[in-house]
A and B are shown apart, each in its own frame.
Chain A
């Protein structure tokens, strides 16, 4: 029943590893996003994917790569993890780029 679901919810890993977070939405939305929320609660857009068009936030290191096999899925792959990547990553979706985003519950990544 969950509208936007992310897996895993928690991820603890070592520096230098590669990891992926998966996101799926069953709302029929055509736009999906990845946001990063740091320890101070700032939510920063990382990527937006609309009808196969990827909009990249230029401040995101190229170690982060989104992959969208179809409109209902947007996965996030992270190479060579660093300590500063520790954060909560939120997936969201909407009808077209919009003010009304539906967020997932978040994936808490801890890099040791």
Chain B
């Protein structure tokens, strides 16, 4: 079992839909939780990050962390075709060389 699990998709939604992307993890030592977005043939770029449990909002994006359930989510409101990409969750603790552990990514397609 991988440390971080993510449904690979693809997830196909119509423009304007609310999108929910999720990750589960097994390592309770993770303290920092990130979402990276990767367009085709490009490198990942950081979208949002949160520390410990709670919610964080940035425009159309909301990140949620539930440490008790070892579950994190990214919500996208009013999804746009330009949101079509692979979304990778990533996690880190202060040990293990401070390295990020990534999920396998969920491919999202927003259709006009």
Could you tell me which A residues sit within 8 Å of B by CB distance? 4, 33, 40-45, 48, 55, 57, 90, 92, 97-106
Residue interface mask B29-50, A partner, CB < 8 A = 1: 0001010001001111110010
- Determine whether the beta carbon of A42 is less than 8 Å from that of B104: yes
Could you tell me which B residues sit within 8 Å of A by CB distance? 2, 8, 32, 34, 38, 41-46, 49, 86, 88, 90, 92, 97-102, 104-105, 107
What residue in chain B is nearest A100 (Cβ atoms)?
Answer: B46
Residues of chain B lying within 8 A (CB to CB) of residue A101: 44, 46, 100
Given contacts A4-B43, A103-B44, A106-B41, contact A43 B99 (CB under 8 A): no
CA–CA, A22 and B57, complex, Å? 37
- Determine whether the beta carbon of A99 is less than 8 Å from that of B92: yes
Q: When the two chains form the complex, which single residue of A4, A41, A55, A92 contacts B104, counting CB atoms closer than 8 Å?
A: A41
- Determine whether the beta carbon of A103 is less than 8 Å from that of B88: no
Residues of chain B lying within 8 A (CB to CB) of residue A4: 43
